[in-house]
A and B are shown apart, each in its own frame.
Chain A
């Protein structure tokens, strides 16, 4: 039987899932993803996590609890750094350590990705992970160990797949779930698409988008429809077309960040900030909405910078939405409606 590797559908899933899936499947493992976030899952996560952690980490606990009894391994990489001279959030740095506090977990695959150790260090880390996994499975199954070529091929394919996914987002303007869907359709593995993703109310969707919104924030906040109260869908229904930070090319982000007196040292927040500055400069969007989760450390600073920049420029409305486990959908919808109304009125007047 294939060993099952569990990937929690939270945090960096919304960035690297195509890579991980391709890599492990190429090596002959079965990748199991936890179910989409729902109320019960989040409640379990909130109960297990220490207070004061941010909502996405609490949700991560929930996803781990959901997975732990139906997989042979849990994949929780330790993302220390993914770009030169940067880090990720401290909570990602300690993620495997804090998750280990849960009782009754299957073995954790803890790949340590540290780009600061050299540009090939991340690939080497995944290589070692693959090697160790194959070695372990050799004893339990009848798999013959094939080393070098197979691992590098898997790495190569994974890398290509992620590039492809990113390209779909940057050049074709797809959101991460859409890009993921596209990739899977291409493989001929047509999954049932949930009715929700198919189409919002056609009444509004068929008419031309009434305004364009730059929606910035972390993938795990925006794309997790339970956490974000399905903001993408709401905006679509209200007739807005959405641009996310993922759709801005890395080069444009880098150009924006090079102008700052000091480049922020968190990779993912750097993307968010760069995208926001890009939207503010190009003036192609009618408004910017930023989603942050309560008690998110880096975002508390990034949001302040976006806010101050927007205020200095003064012509693009900006709204900050803070979410936590107590946010209600109605509250979010009301604020979105008010924001869009303001944009429309501003345009007429």
Chain B
């Protein structure tokens, strides 16, 4: 029984750990490449959203490497993601693959389906072992999130371009190799030290840009052309609310603390979008307002082409931008997106932000008074 799953940025490591500690043989999908995308696009519906196509590419490459079980999340809509697995199964079946697909429905839809999925995954492990696996995974998720947060701060201040990215790669390797809770703790410390060793200089012209948008395109560097690195190397500090640990807290644990934070985001979005619109739509708007309040110079909104919730959000973001006098760049990503195009647009956006901070432009001068409302 060889299990595989779609990639999700650096969280791929944590998901791998989860299955390994449950006793599965894991075939992690190879890092997404042009080939992944070509395969995925060839067999996916034309107007399906971008993450779906990358997923299909990931599956095909994993199946080629011998995987026979695919694990995917389900959902209760109205975002298309909740129905991904059903169509992906059809596509792979029609291509003639023999495989087993385990769809893990989120508990919002029904607890019974959720537990049914869990039972298939755990393969008769004892509760104690399951708990250990979950703890291990959670520790890794937290460690990765913390390292990435640090990376986002250090990168715009690095002395030699690319030094942080190299350190980040090493740090992820350290965390990946850790196999038990104590090892993860030491690995996390070592990883943070690794990032801390990157030579930096103090700068006071570092711009802060909030990153909001759809879950997958924000978290998967392959989907967003590694936008965080691009921005960091242009001297921009990226801030974002959305992390894997935050997503788990919101959707699986639903702690009171995360509920409060969510409430705050919804409150911020209320003047513009009053209701849940599926996916991350409302959160994108709320987070944009919060980024503006915390003094970000601008916001970048990422979405897969024709993503329904984010298109709804984007329709009101222009109003947010006008009201808060906040530059917002909306980037719609799909398999046609070229890196050079993204870089050009980011450079123009960063130039605008820099000029605006220096007070050069009268049109787009920051209006703090308005932001505080």
Contact with A along B267-282 (1 / 0, CB 8 A): 0000011111111010
**Is A91's CB within 8 Å of the partner chain B?**
yes
**Is A305's CB within 8 Å of the partner chain B?**
yes
A297 near B276 (CB under 8 angstroms)?
no
Interface residue from B49, B83, B272, B311 paired with A91 (Cβ < 8 Å):
B311
**Is A295's CB within 8 Å of the partner chain B?**
yes
A304 near B276 (CB under 8 angstroms)?
no
**Is B82's CB within 8 Å of the partner chain A?**
yes
**Is A87's CB within 8 Å of the partner chain B?**
yes
Q: Select the stretch in B136-144, B247-255, B312-320, B339-347 that faces chain A.
A: B312-320
On chain A, the residues within 8 Å of B77 by CB distance are 86-87, 265-266
**Is B305's CB within 8 Å of the partner chain A?**
yes
Contact with B along A305-346 (1 / 0, CB 8 A): 100100110000000001000000000000000000000000
Interface residue from B46, B79, B82, B273 paired with A94 (Cβ < 8 Å):
B273
The chain A residue sitting closest to B79, CB to CB, is A90
The chain A residue sitting closest to B306, CB to CB, is A295
Complex formed: what's the CA distance from A78 to B274 in Å?
A: 10
A231 to chain B, nearest CB (A): 20
Interface size class of B (residues with CB under 8 A): 35 or more
**Is B78's CB within 8 Å of the partner chain A?**
yes
On chain B, the residues within 8 Å of A112 by CB distance are 275
On chain A, the residues within 8 Å of B313 by CB distance are 94
On chain A, the residues within 8 Å of B308 by CB distance are 89-91, 297-298
On chain B, the residues within 8 Å of A262 by CB distance are 74, 83, 86, 103
Complex formed: what's the CA distance from A87 to B281 in Å?
A: 15
**Is A80's CB within 8 Å of the partner chain B?**
yes
B36 to chain A, nearest CB (A): 20
Complex formed: what's the CA distance from A261 to B74 in Å?
A: 12
Once A265-B78, A301-B87, A308-B90 are accepted as A-B contacts, the answer to whether A93 and B318 lie under 8 Å apart by CB is: no
Complex formed: what's the CA distance from A312 to B103 in Å?
A: 23
**Is A52's CB within 8 Å of the partner chain B?**
yes
Most chain A beta-carbon neighbours within 10 Å: one of B49, B82, B275: B275
Given contacts A90-B281, A101-B316, 17 further A-B contacts (CB under 8 A): A52-B314, A88-B78, A90-B79, A91-B308, A91-B312, A93-B78, A93-B276, A93-B278, A94-B275, A100-B316, A101-B318, A265-B83, A295-B306, A297-B49, A297-B307, A304-B48, A308-B91
CB-defined A-B contacts under 8 Å, sample of 5:
A52-B332, A85-B109, A98-B312, A301-B83, A322-B47
